[in-house]
């Protein structure tokens, strides 16, 4: 998605008549939503500097200009791009990362990071050259048009307010690897940047490369489950951007520190669905293992461990792989500091007791911190889906303090899943009434969200999507009993929706890798077999435990299946404290559907058993059709009319619309 696109001549005219920020703002409101005053000011400032750079006949007037292009599979945007043809008539794109920064401190201990003041707060951030380079690599890796059409990308950074001095920290030798990939220009370098651009863009391509990039298929060729083998062979398959890079370097530093001091290190990394927590965890596992540290990847949920293990068996003995991936319930007997680093993914799922009968140990959070010199917890408290889940930031801090550990907290914000749409996640939270958000009226329309009237049609759509690369699956709320006799028999179905003569079986018990087994697409996964994993597309059946009554979302724990252990203890608590039991169950049910509805990287399709809930989703989605966004009078007035994003999939309704 591109917020603003034009020819160079059109861009220059828009800057000349002071309409550039207004046009960017209008398009931003329509395509994304609210924008901060700081962002508007940055457009006013930076675009005037780019005008000076481009004010030359050596760069043709009809080359393409793009502002605020969304990097594939993330929520990050590229500030400025120029597109055209090089001297060999090949597609050529120059990427310019624009910065308002005026001061920088180098950070020697963390690779690719600098320290600067943003919003009056001093903090660590990715070096501008690192940013520009990783954005270019992500486009190259994830945009099929760039790969197929041989579009060359040339990244650079322009800090137009920054006065470079001799022996400047911005260009220190520790950053030369990144600067060699993406040169950095500062105040007074307009002519140098102009020369850089004109080296690669000689003539117009009539914005053809811009069109190819904007309409290129997003193909996540380096997704976690497919790349794990190569990662553990020492090849870091995923580039980390922004907060990921900060968290990665901090984690490496803390792990090293824990090996040379007597004080434990605890890192808490918080992030919502799709912020790259698992990617970061596997990168750390690879790097720390390579540095001769005893390092293990830990989860309560076995599904991701089993999937990763199966992927890795081709190149490693199973015993070696099993030693890298561990259950969270095995550390109650571990000696203090027995393990160098424990990387705990889905830390919100940690329990108090361990063992089959929950009668071993005291608290998994405590036991992990006690067992490791360095503990790294990846957490999203909105993904707690069981009454036994005790993992929380406060719980981690409490036991960290008990062991006198040094605690560091980091938050991940960049969005990789859901096609990089932060708006979809915020909209979903608002729709499920988990929290009020600014996205009550919609989200980035690049994410494929459909509502089906018939579960059979939903299944047909998932089967069709799965033919591409075996990355589409059916999921459902746990409202149907898992029949004991049918756990390994696909002929015995568990899920029945009689109105549509729909039936399906839960994923079979004879495989732990339902998520990647080609023949498993006919089976339906639940929260326990899908949490921690991702797919391209998911089809979610929302059961009777989530309904819409009298104008609000209502949860019903009594509609959960008897075989579901997520609400174990609910009935006894209900007898003692009805309100508290219902409050906890309400949170768990909503969290469960939030998790299921965010498993798809490119799209999510739903069927609601409750017709009123289906109508509610439809209305909330349809509010995007015509939305008036409030804008300060002194800036502009704008009405953003988005495309219709509610897809009618019932043949009956399709004929009536």
- What is the per-residue pLDDT for 447? 84
Q: Is the same domain home to 651 and 555?
A: yes
- What is the per-residue pLDDT for 420? 56
Q: Which residue has the higher pLDDT, 74 or 172?
A: 172
Residue 423 DSSP SS3? helix
Which residues have CB under 8 Å from 362's CB, separation 6+?
A: 332, 352, 353
Most confident of 94-103, 304-313, 530-539: 94-103
- Is the per-residue pLDDT at 441 higher than 70? no
Between the alpha carbon of residue 556 and those of residues 339, 447, 497, the distances in Å are: 43, 29, 18
What's the pLDDT tens digit per position in 531-561?
888 899 999 999 999 999 999 999 999 999 9
Which residues have CB under 8 Å from 23's CB, separation 6+?
A: 4, 14
Cα gap 572→568, rounded to integer Å: 9
- Is the per-residue pLDDT at 121 higher than 90? no
Cα 513 versus chain centre, distance = 23
- What is the per-residue pLDDT for 302? 83
Q: Is the same domain home to 145 and 244?
A: no
Q: Is the same domain home to 437 and 565?
A: yes
> Does residue 241 lie within any of the structural domains?
yes
Signed CA dihedral, 622, 602, 274, 349: sign only: positive
- What is the per-residue pLDDT for 286? 79
- What is the per-residue pLDDT for 484? 77
Q: Is the same domain home to 451 and 381?
A: no
Query: Of 361, 393, 412, which residue is a domain's last?
Result: 412
What's the pLDDT tens digit per position in 378-410?
999 989 999 999 999 999 999 999 999 999 999
Q: Is the same domain home to 363 and 512?
A: no
- What is the per-residue pLDDT for 93? 97
> Does residue 599 lie within any of the structural domains?
yes
Q: Is the same domain home to 461 and 359?
A: no
Q: Which residue has the higher pLDDT, 309 or 393?
A: 393
| CB distance 216 to 188 below 8 Å | no
Cα gap 499→494, rounded to integer Å: 16
* SS3 annotation, 470-489: CCEEEEECCCCCCCHHHCCC
| CB distance 485 to 509 below 8 Å | no
Q: Which residue has the higher pLDDT, 291 or 539?
A: 539
What's phi and psi for 93, nearest 5 deg? -130, 125
> Does residue 220 lie within any of the structural domains?
no
- What is the per-residue pLDDT for 143? 81
Q: How confident is the model at residue 232 (pLDDT cuts 50, 70, 90)?
A: low
What is the average pLDDT across 457-486? 93
| CB distance 343 to 297 below 8 Å | yes
Cα gap 85→27, rounded to integer Å: 27
Which residues have CB under 8 Å from 14's CB, separation 6+?
A: 6, 20, 23
The parent domain of residue 583 ranges over 419-656
Q: Is the same domain home to 296 and 385?
A: yes
Report the mean per-residue pLDDT for the chain: 85
Query: Of 372, 387, 412, which residue is a domain's last?
Result: 412
What are the helix and strand counts (H, E) for the chain? Answer: 22, 26
How many CA atoms within 13 Å lie on the side-chain side of 481?
Answer: 8
> Does residue 221 lie within any of the structural domains?
no
Q: Is the same domain home to 14 and 149?
A: yes
| CB distance 342 to 294 below 8 Å | no
What is the average pLDDT across 464-471? 93
> Does residue 436 lie within any of the structural domains?
yes
- Is the per-residue pLDDT at 241 higher than 90? no
Q: How confident is the model at residue 639 (pLDDT cuts 50, 70, 90)?
A: very low
Q: Which residue has the higher pLDDT, 591 or 233?
A: 591
Q: Is the same domain home to 335 and 479?
A: no
Which residues have CB under 8 Å from 646's CB, separation 6+?
A: 451, 618, 621, 622
Name the DSSP letter for residue 647: P
Nearest to 649 by CA among 446, 449, 450: 450
Our count of domains for the chain comes to 3
> Does residue 313 lie within any of the structural domains?
yes
Most confident of 213-227, 322-336, 470-484: 470-484
Q: Is the same domain home to 523 and 595?
A: yes
Which range is least confidently modeled, 216-225, 281-290, 409-418, 562-571?
A: 216-225
Q: Is the same domain home to 13 and 48?
A: yes
Name the DSSP letter for residue 506: B
CATH code: domain of residue 158: 3.40.91
Query: Of 412, 427, 448, which residue is a domain's last?
Result: 412
> Does residue 72 lie within any of the structural domains?
yes
Cα gap 47→116, rounded to integer Å: 22
CATH code: domain of residue 315: 3.40.50.300
- Is the per-residue pLDDT at 656 higher than 50? no
Q: Is the same domain home to 363 and 477?
A: no
């Amino acid at each position: 998605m591109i917020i603003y696109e034009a020819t160079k001549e059109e861009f220059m005219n828009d800057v000349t008549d002071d309409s550039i920020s207004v046009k960017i703002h209008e398009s931003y409101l329509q395509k994304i939503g609210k924008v901060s005053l700081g962002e508007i000011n940055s457009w006013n400032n930076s675009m005037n500097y780019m005008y000076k750079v481009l004010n030359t006949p050596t760069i043709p007037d009809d080359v393409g200009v793009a502002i605020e292009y969304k990097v594939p599979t993330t929520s990050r945007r590229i500030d400025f791009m120029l597109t055209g043809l090089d001297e060999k008539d090949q597609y050529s794109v120059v990427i310019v990362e624009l910065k308002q920064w005026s001061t920088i401190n180098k950070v020697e201990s963390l690779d690719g990071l600098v320290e600067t003041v943003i919003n009056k707060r001093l903090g660590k951030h990715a070096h501008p050259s690192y940013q520009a380079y990783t954005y270019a690599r992500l486009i190259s890796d994830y945009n099929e048009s760039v790969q197929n059409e041989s579009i060359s990308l040339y990244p650079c950074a322009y800090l137009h307010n920054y006065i470079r001095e001799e022996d400047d920290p911005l260009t220190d030798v520790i950053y030369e690897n990144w600067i060699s990939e993406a040169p950095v220009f500062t105040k007074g370098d307009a002519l140098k940047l102009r020369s850089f651009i004109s080296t690669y863009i000689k003539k117009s391509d009539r914005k053809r490369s811009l069109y190819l990039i904007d309409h290129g298929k997003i193909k996540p060729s380096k997704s976690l489950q497919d790349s794990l083998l190569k990662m553990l062979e020492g090849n870091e398959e995923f580039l980390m951007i922004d907060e990921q890079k900060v968290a990665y370097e901090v984690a490496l530093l803390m792990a090293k520190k824990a090996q040379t001091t007597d004080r434990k290190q605890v890192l808490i990394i918080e992030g919502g669905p799709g912020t790259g927590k698992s990617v970061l965890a596997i990168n750390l596992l690879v790097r720390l293992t390579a540095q001769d540290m005893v390092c293990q990847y830990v989860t309560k949920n076995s599904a991701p461990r089993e999937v990763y293990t199966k992927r890795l068996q081709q190149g490693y003995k199973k015993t070696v792989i099993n030693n890298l991936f561990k259950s969270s319930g095995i550390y109650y007997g571990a000696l203090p500091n027995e393990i160098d680093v424990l990387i705990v993914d889905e830390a919100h799922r940690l329990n108090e007791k361990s063992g089959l009968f929950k009668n071993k140990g005291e608290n998994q959070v405590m036991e992990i911190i006690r067992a490791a010199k360095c503990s790294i917890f990846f957490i999203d408290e909105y993904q707690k889906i069981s009454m036994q889940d005790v993992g929380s930031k406060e719980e981690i801090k409490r036991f960290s303090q008990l062991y006198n550990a040094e605690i560091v907290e980091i938050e991940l914000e960049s969005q990789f899943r859901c096609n990089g749409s932060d708006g979809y996640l915020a909209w979903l939270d608002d729709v499920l009434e988990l929290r009020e958000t600014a996205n009550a009226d919609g989200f980035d329309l690049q994410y494929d969200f459909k509502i089906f009237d018939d579960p059979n049609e939903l299944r047909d759509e998932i089967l069709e999507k799965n033919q591409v690369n075996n990355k589409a699956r059916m999921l459902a709320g746990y409202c149907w009993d898992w029949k004991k006799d049918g756990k390994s028999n696909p002929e015995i179905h568990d899920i029945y929706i009689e109105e549509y003569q729909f039936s399906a079986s839960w994923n079979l018990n004879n495989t732990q890798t339902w998520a990647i087994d080609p023949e498993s697409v006919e089976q339906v996964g639940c929260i326990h077999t899908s949490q921690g994993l991702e797919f391209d597309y998911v089809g979610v059946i929302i059961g009777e435990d989530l309904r819409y009554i009298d104008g609000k979302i209502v949860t019903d724990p009594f509609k959960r299946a008897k075989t579901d252990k997520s609400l174990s203890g609910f009935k006894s608590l209900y007898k003692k404290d009805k309100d508290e039991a219902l409050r906890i169950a309400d949170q768990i049910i909503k969290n469960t559907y939030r998790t299921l509805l965010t498993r798809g990287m490119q799209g999510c399709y739903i069927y609601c058993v409750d017709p009123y809930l289906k109508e509610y989703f439809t209305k909330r989605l349809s509010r995007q059709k015509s939305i008036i966004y409030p804008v300060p009078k002194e800036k502009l007035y704008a009405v953003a009319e988005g495309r219709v994003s509610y897809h009618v999939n019932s043949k009956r309704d399709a004929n009536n619309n």
